[in-house]
């Protein structure tokens, strides 16, 4: 029997539609064949008590050969008969099967150790409570519903590494959030282009700039949410197409304020120029190895939007003069931290010089920039509650 068939059997024994009156069917068969029960069991080489245990579910470990023999005699599909045998097990046996199934569900879909470290799972919870936490967070009533609604990642493999499970978790969380928010505004590509042209000055307002831009994008059909970065995933941002609307996720990857804006412009490039490609795949994770999109084009778009190479060649001579940098930032209508951030990138890209640890004192706390967006974290409410909060923020007039 194939593994897939076994998985299907284990799922279906917990459904309510498994019904087969084996005892009645057995009586009908021996009457049809004109043979007694005792003679039948003797010919099948099955002890009477063993037969009763199989039918009553009292056999602690039903003999598979006996089960198959009875199914063949009754002319019943073996898979269907196994469902009945499993479903008729006593409560202790059913509970042990259910625990094994739930354990497989957790191990298959979640990096339990990493999510416990994040605070998503409680260290003291048993299997039942871990499963309840996972299902309730995503808004599902059962494992069956979770698996029926599974959104397969683009990088899915038969054997996934822990980092892939974390990406699955991250992707599913974002996808469910976008579905629940369900942006009612029509996507307008021309208005998006106009909005992008006018976004730059908002980067100067650390506390409210990103918030104002995300609200403006929401009104033209582009939903932007913030999810906390998950270690090992290396996901800076992502673009989804949900209900035919572009949706963007940005994270606090590297914990830098300029990265928030860079990521947003990177993802908006995908919305503008790669919409159909993203739509055909449901979503795209930026900076990943599944690159069906040309990431450098999106990076160049975001980089040139804020600071072209000509600007770098000018400001590199004054980078240690904070007064000049601030004036240059005002003239270019961007926050000074973006000047320092792109200076660092150009130095590394053009000259191989590492200034990554420099200028830290000029980088604002990125938490302030996303606080009004009700960022999605992993140790508080479920996605339904979080989505309602985010939607309320976007729909304030």
Whether residue 292 has pLDDT greater than 80: no
CA dist 302 and 36 (Å) reads 82
Whether residue 1 has pLDDT greater than 80: no
Whether residue 258 has pLDDT greater than 70: yes
Query: In this predicted structure, what is the pLDDT of residue 3?
Result: 43
CA dist 183 and 291 (Å) reads 27
pTM of the predicted model as reported, rounded to 2 decimal places: 0.79
CA dist 78 and 248 (Å) reads 48
Query: In this predicted structure, what is the pLDDT of residue 150?
Result: 58
Average pLDDT over residues 157-181: 80
Query: In this predicted structure, what is the pLDDT of residue 15?
Result: 56
Query: In this predicted structure, what is the pLDDT of residue 290?
Result: 52
Query: In this predicted structure, what is the pLDDT of residue 2?
Result: 43
Query: In this predicted structure, what is the pLDDT of residue 294?
Result: 79
Average pLDDT over residues 65-80: 87
Q: What is the DSSP letter of 364?
A: P
Query: In this predicted structure, what is the pLDDT of residue 395?
Result: 83
* 3-state SS assignment for residue 225: strand
Q: Bridge partners of 250? A: 226, 237
Average pLDDT over residues 111-129: 90
Q: Which pLDDT band, with edges at 50, 70 and 90, does 128 fall under?
A: very high
Whether residue 19 has pLDDT greater than 80: no
Whether residue 14 has pLDDT greater than 60: no
- Looking at 42-46, 78-82, 191-195, 387-391, which range is the least confident one? 78-82
pLDDT, one tens digit per residue, over 202-219 is 999 999 999 999 999 999
What backbone phi and psi angles, to 5 degrees, belong to 336? -55, -30
Q: Phi-psi region for residue 188, left (φ > 0), alpha (ψ -120 to 50) or beta?
A: beta
Q: How many CB atoms lie within 10 A of CB 216?
A: 18
Whether residue 153 has pLDDT greater than 50: no
**Domains annotated on the chain, with CATH:** 3-89 (1.10.260), 94-150 (no CATH), 165-394 (no CATH)
Q: How many CB atoms lie within 10 A of CB 371?
A: 15
pLDDT, one tens digit per residue, over 87-116 is 766 677 777 778 888 998 999 899 999 899
Q: Which pLDDT band, with edges at 50, 70 and 90, does 78 fall under?
A: confident
CA dist 115 and 113 (Å) reads 6
What are the residues whose beta carbons fall under 8 Å from the beta carbon of 193, sequence distance 6 or more? 272
Query: In this predicted structure, what is the pLDDT of residue 83?
Result: 74
* 3-state SS assignment for residue 237: strand
- Looking at 7-16, 70-79, 101-110, 301-310, which range is the least confident one? 7-16
CA dist 326 and 334 (Å) reads 9
What are the residues whose beta carbons fall under 8 Å from the beta carbon of 2, sequence distance 6 or more? none
Q: Which pLDDT band, with edges at 50, 70 and 90, does 252 fall under?
A: confident
CB 85 within 8 A of CB 57: yes
Query: In this predicted structure, what is the pLDDT of residue 85?
Result: 76
Query: In this predicted structure, what is the pLDDT of residue 148?
Result: 78
pLDDT, one tens digit per residue, over 30-53 is 999 899 999 999 999 999 988 888
pLDDT, one tens digit per residue, over 307-319 is 999 999 999 999 9
Token pair listed for 211? 């918030």
Q: Which pLDDT band, with edges at 50, 70 and 90, does 156 fall under?
A: very low
> In angstroms, what CA-CA distances link 321 with 129, 170, 315, 328?
56, 41, 10, 11
Query: In this predicted structure, what is the pLDDT of residue 84?
Result: 75
Q: How many CB atoms lie within 10 A of CB 250?
A: 28
């Amino acid at each position: 029997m194939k593994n897939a068939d076994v998985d299907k059997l284990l799922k279906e024994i917990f459904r309510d539609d498994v019904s087969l009156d084996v005892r009645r069917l057995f009586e009908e068969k021996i009457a049809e064949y004109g043979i007694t029960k005792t003679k039948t069991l003797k010919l099948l080489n099955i002890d009477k008590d063993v037969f009763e245990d199989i039918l009553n579910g009292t056999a602690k470990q039903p003999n598979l050969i006996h089960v198959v023999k009875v199914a063949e005699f009754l002319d019943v599909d073996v898979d269907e008969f196994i469902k009945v045998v499993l479903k008729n097990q006593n409560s202790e046996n059913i509970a042990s099967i259910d625990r094994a199934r739930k354990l497989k569900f957790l191990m298959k879909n979640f990096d339990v150790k990493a999510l416990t470290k994040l605070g998503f799972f409680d260290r003291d919870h048993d299997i039942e409570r871990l499963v309840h936490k996972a299902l309730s967070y995503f808004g599902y009533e059962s494992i069956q519903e979770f698996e029926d609604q599974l959104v397969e990642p683009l990088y899915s493999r038969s054997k996934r590494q822990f980092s892939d499970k974390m990406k699955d978790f991250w992707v599913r969380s974002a996808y469910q959030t976008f579905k629940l928010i369900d942006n009612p505004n029509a996507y307008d590509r021309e208005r998006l282009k106009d909005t992008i042209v006018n976004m730059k000055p908002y980067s100067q307002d650390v506390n409210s700039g990103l918030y104002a831009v995300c609200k403006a994008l929401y009104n033209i059909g582009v939903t932007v949410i913030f999810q906390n970065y998950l270690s090992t995933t290396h996901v800076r941002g992502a673009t989804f197409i949900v209900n035919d609307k572009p949706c963007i996720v940005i994270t606090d990857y590297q914990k830098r304020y300029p990265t928030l804006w860079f990521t947003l412009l990177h993802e908006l490039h995908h919305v503008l120029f790669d919409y159909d490609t993203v739509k055909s795949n449901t979503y795209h994770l930026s900076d990943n190895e599944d690159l069906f999109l040309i990431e450098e084009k999106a990076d160049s778009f975001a980089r040139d939007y804020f600071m072209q190479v000509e600007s770098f060649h000018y400001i590199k001579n004054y980078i240690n003069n904070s007064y000049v940098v601030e004036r240059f930032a005002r003239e270019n209508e961007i926050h000074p931290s973006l000047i320092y951030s792109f200076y660092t990138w150009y130095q590394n890209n053009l000259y191989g010089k590492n200034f990554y640890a420099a200028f830290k004192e000029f980088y604002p706390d990125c938490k302030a920039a996303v606080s009004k967006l009700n960022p999605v974290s992993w140790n508080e409410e479920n996605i339904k509650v979080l989505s309602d909060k985010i939607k309320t923020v976007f729909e304030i007039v």
